[in-house]
A and B are shown apart, each in its own frame.
Chain A
Amino acid sequence: MSSTYIATAGEEDTKVKKGPKKGKPESERSKAENTLGRNLVLPAIIVMLLVTAFPMLRALYLSLFSYSLTAPEDREFVGLSNYVTALSDPLFWRDTGVTVLYMVVTVAVELVIGFIFAMVMHRVIFARGIIRTSILIPYGIITVVSGFAWQFAFSYQNGFVNSWIPGLDTTFNWFAESTPAIVAIMVSEIWKTTPFMSLLLLAGLAQVSEDMIEAAKVDGATWWQRLWKVILPNMRAAIMVAVLFRALDAYRIFDNIFVMTAGAVGTESISFLTYRQTIEQFQLGIGSALSVLLFLSVLLIAYLIVKLFKVDLAAARQEG
Chain B
Amino acid sequence: MRNNASTRVGTVIGAILILIWCLLPVAWIISLSFKSQTAITNGSPGFFPADGDGAGWQNYQDVLANDQFRRAIFNSIGISLIATLLSVIIATLAAYAIARLDFPGKKLVLTMALAIAMFPVVSLVGPLFDMWRTIGLYDTWPGLIIPYMSFTLPLAIWTLSAFFREIPWELEQAAQVDGATSWQAFRKVIVPLAAPGVFTAAILTFFFAWNDFVFGISLTSTERARPIPAALSFFVGADPFNRPASLLAAGAVVSTIPIIIIVLIFQRKIVAGLTSGAVKG
Contacts and interface: CB of A to CB of B under 8 A. Distances in A.
Contacts of B260: 137, 140
- Main SS class of interface, A: helix
Contacts of A38: 103, 105
A137 B271 contact: no
Contact of A135 (B18, B125, B130, B240): B18
**Contact count band on B:** 35 or more
A284 B255 contact: no
Interface centre among B15, B120, B218, B255 (most CB of A within 10 A): B120
Interface in B100-147: 100-106, 109, 112-113, 116-131, 146-147
A59 B127 contact: yes
B106 A117 contact: no
A203 interface: yes
A144 B126 contact: no
B219 to A, nearest CB: 9
A123 B7 contact: yes
B122 A294 contact: yes
A80 interface: no
Interface in B49-74: 52
B222 interface: no
A122 B269 CA distance: 17
Contacts of A10: 182
B98 A41 contact: yes
B126 A141 contact: no
Contacts, number: 345
A37 B101 contact: yes
Interface centre among A34, A55, A123, A261 (most CB of B within 10 A): A55
A130 to B, nearest CB: 8
A277 B129 CA distance: 12
A252 B151 CA distance: 14
B202 interface: no
A93 interface: no
Interface residues of A, number: 128
A320 B172 CA distance: 48
B93 A44 contact: yes
Given A55-B124, A262-B240, A291-B123, A153 B109 contact: no
A159 interface: yes
Interface string B1-17: 11000010001001101
Contacts of B128: 51, 55
B249 A117 contact: no
Interface of A: 1, 4-6, 8-10, 12-13, 16-17, 21, 25, 30, 33-34, 36-38, 40-41, 43-45, 47-52, 55-56, 58-59, 62, 69, 116-117, 119-121, 123-124, 126-127, 129-146, 148-153, 155-160, 162-164, 170, 175, 191, 194-196, 199-200, 202-204, 207, 210, 213-214, 217, 237-238, 241-242, 244-245, 248, 251-252, 254-255, 258-262, 264, 271-272, 274-275, 277-279, 284, 287-288, 290-292, 294-295, 298, 302
22 contacts: A9-B182, A34-B103, A37-B106, A40-B93, A40-B96, A41-B105, A47-B150, A51-B151, A55-B127, A59-B126, A134-B18, A135-B18, A148-B249, A163-B45, A175-B241, A262-B240, A275-B214, A278-B129, A279-B218, A284-B126, A287-B126, A295-B123
